[in-house]
């Protein structure tokens, strides 16, 4: 590299622009532990048939899923309100909107799929004669 190229080159070509931290081993281990816990509890709830009411079980599992999304956003993606001039907060808001659409859409589809695939299932057998 010539002297003029050295004068105009970045001092560290691999550095990021704003200098925010990328987490420590401790934060990654905390995030990993929380992720394992937030995965193991719903798995146990389903496999152990702990909650008899399916509605409560579904809502509880969805709550654990949403909590795990936030754990990933904070501990692995390092999203907070101060980094990158607030753009990560905009990404978080977008993520929340997508989560609400995906979860409510999934529940709506599954409910109507059950209703529409088995329309005669709820009929009284005496009415069929």
Q: What's the pLDDT tens digit per position in 69-116?
A: 889 988 988 877 777 777 877 888 898 899 899 989 988 888 888 777
Alpha-carbon gap, residue 48 to 23, rounded angstroms: 36
| Domain ranges across the chain | 23-78, 81-115
% of the chain surpassing 70 pLDDT? 74
| pLDDT score at 36 | 97
State whether the Cα torsion 41-47-51-56 is positive or negative. positive
- Smallest CA-to-CA distance from 72 within 25, 19, 99, 34 is with 34
Query: What is each CA distance from 49 to 37, 44, 54, 113, in whole angstroms?
Result: 18, 8, 10, 23
Mean pLDDT of the chain, nearest integer: 80
Of 35-39, 108-112, 115-119, least confident by mean pLDDT is 115-119
Alpha-carbon gap, residue 76 to 105, rounded angstroms: 27
Q: Is 89 in contact with 79 (CB distance < 8 Å)?
A: yes
Q: Is 76 in contact with 31 (CB distance < 8 Å)?
A: yes
Q: Is 64 in contact with 41 (CB distance < 8 Å)?
A: yes
Cα angle at 31 between 25 and 37, to 5 degrees?
Answer: 135
């Amino acid at each position: 590299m010539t002297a003029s190229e050295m004068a105009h080159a970045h001092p560290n070509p691999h550095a990021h622009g704003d200098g925010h931290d990328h987490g420590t081993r401790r934060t990654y281990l905390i995030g990993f532990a929380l992720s394992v816990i937030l995965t193991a509890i719903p798995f146990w709830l389903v496999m152990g048939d702990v909650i008899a009411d399916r509605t409560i079980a579904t809502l509880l599992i969805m709550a654990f899923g949403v909590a795990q999304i936030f754990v990933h956003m904070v501990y692995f993606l390092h999203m907070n309100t101060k980094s990158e001039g607030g753009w990560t907060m905009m990404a978080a808001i977008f993520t929340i909107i997508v989560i609400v659409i995906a979860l409510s859409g999934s529940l709506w589809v599954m409910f109507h799929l059950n209703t529409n695939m088995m329309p005669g299932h709820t009929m009284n057998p005496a009415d069929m004669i």
